[in-house]
Amino acid sequence: MLTGGGTDNQCVALASGLRQLGRQVWLLGPDEREFSKIARERQVPFHASPPEGPLKLRFIAAAAKFIRRERIQIVHGHHGRDIWPAILAARLSGVRPAIVLTRHMAKSPGSGFSRQFMLGQCDALIAVSDFVAKVLREGVHEPDSPERERHRRPPIKGDHGKIHVIHGGIDTELFHPSEAPECRAELGLKPGDYAFAVVGGYGLPRGKGQREFLQAAAKIHEQSPRARFLIIGRGNMESILKEDIARLGLSGKAWLTPYFTGMPAVMNAIDCLVHPQIGTEALGLVVCEAHACGKPVIASALDGIPEAFAAGKLGQLVRPESIDELAGALKSWAERPALNLAARQEIHARVREQFSFTTSTANTLMLYQKLMNRRGA
């Protein structure tokens, strides 16, 4: 889609990483979008697709022609909405490329047709976490969850041996320990403030737990006078969150900050990342970004988040939607001294080993090579 978000970021990073490893790669998608421009900035060869047309037929035909012309060996689809166009384009090309799909969501495919037939139409399906693989292989059912999307996540049909876990990655060259006094000032922080921050979109109906974060903050802000509570992102809940801040008596201690493009500086400017996710979460790479900067993380222990947390192991996992448990964690970490640079760098090294773009790209390339070896290519 190339409009932004984690899936587009992972796709462009993979293409860039493969080029750095000497592989020939193209990115095919709509032009004049946020990540099509980023792809060109990273010198990834970009083939602009035409308008999709009815049933995406124009897109499928153009993609099939390009695959045939360039004799593409592997077609890799990322967005759920583009899985079938990618499969059909590969089939119609006549050159029989291997088809790889990545599942970036901790949910089952939305349609029964996809759950029944998708796995049979690809050569490999990458799950970005062990939890996503569990959803695909076994299904996950939480009928008592207050979140409807968590009630029923059925497995997919087919040869589950095609499912491979390759964790997503982050740019550990950018996310590393440093000092960020200018960014702290830009965030509205003063010397002596201890900054908790939730980073991410806040779309209706519930965002990523920002309202729960504010409720927990209201329980401890008087006991922890240095604590400040930042909501960094964008979305259509802005007026609701501002009303919560006023209603909960957090004016001057909690505020909304616009989305930053320089997230490495933000991670180094805050004192503790809070990720109180309440919906579904495939992995939670924002946790890895904070840990890569040597910062503690307080996060919900749900879905793939514990896998992301395990590399850094700095901070605390709490029960999802437990305001009291989240408040207790906030109070505890507000009273702890910051790590020195050496300790932060040690955490960075652990995250780099497991969750760097370099590691993710290398593991994906190994899978590609296995598929090619099976075909005798």
Domain range summary for the chain, segments of one domain joined by +: 6-169+357-375, 181-355
Q: At a CB cut-off of 8 Å and minimum separation 6, what does 343 contact? A: 294
User: From the first residue on, what is the mean pLDDT of each consecutive set of 10 residues in the chain (377 residues)?
Assistant: 86 95 94 89 92 89 96 94 93 97 94 95 97 97 90 96 97 96 95 96 92 98 97 95 98 90 93 96 96 98 97 96 97 94 97 96 97 84
User: How far apart (Å, rounded) are the C-alpha atoms in residues 80 and 82?
Assistant: 5
Question: What pTM did the predictor assign?
Answer: 0.93
Q: Which CATH code of 3.60.150.10, 3.40.50.2000, 3.90.230.10, 3.40.50.720 fits the domain covering 181-355?
A: 3.40.50.2000
Omega into 154 within 30° of 0, i.e. cis?
no
The predicted pLDDT at position 135 comes to 97
- What is the CATH topology of the domain spanning 6-169+357-375? Rossmann fold (3.40.50)
Helix, strand, or coil (residue 160): helix
User: What pLDDT, on the 0 to 100 scale, is given for residue 377?
Assistant: 60
In this prediction, residue 82 carries a pLDDT of: 86
- Which run of H or E residues covers position 252? none
Is residue 147 within 8 Å of 279, Cβ to Cβ? yes
pLDDT value, residue 275: 98
pLDDT value, residue 55:
85
- The string of DSSP letters for 229-248 reads EEEEE--TTHHHHHHHHHHT
- What is the per-residue pLDDT for 54? 87
Sequence-distant (≥ 6) Cβ neighbours of residue 91 within 8 angstroms: none
Please give the single-letter amino acid code of residue 187.
L
Query: Shortest CA distance to 296 belongs to which of 280, 317, 277?
Result: 317
CA torsion, ordered 299, 305, 306, 310, to nearest 10 deg: -90
Phi, psi of 288, deg, nearest 5: -65, -40
Sequence-distant contacts of 110-117: CB under 8 A, at least 24 apart: 110/80, 114/83, 114/84, 114/156, 115/154, 115/155, 115/156, 115/157, 116/156, 116/157, 117/157, 117/158
pLDDT at 184: 95
What's the gap between Cα 58 and its chain centre?
30
Query: What is the Cα gyration radius of the chain?
Result: 22
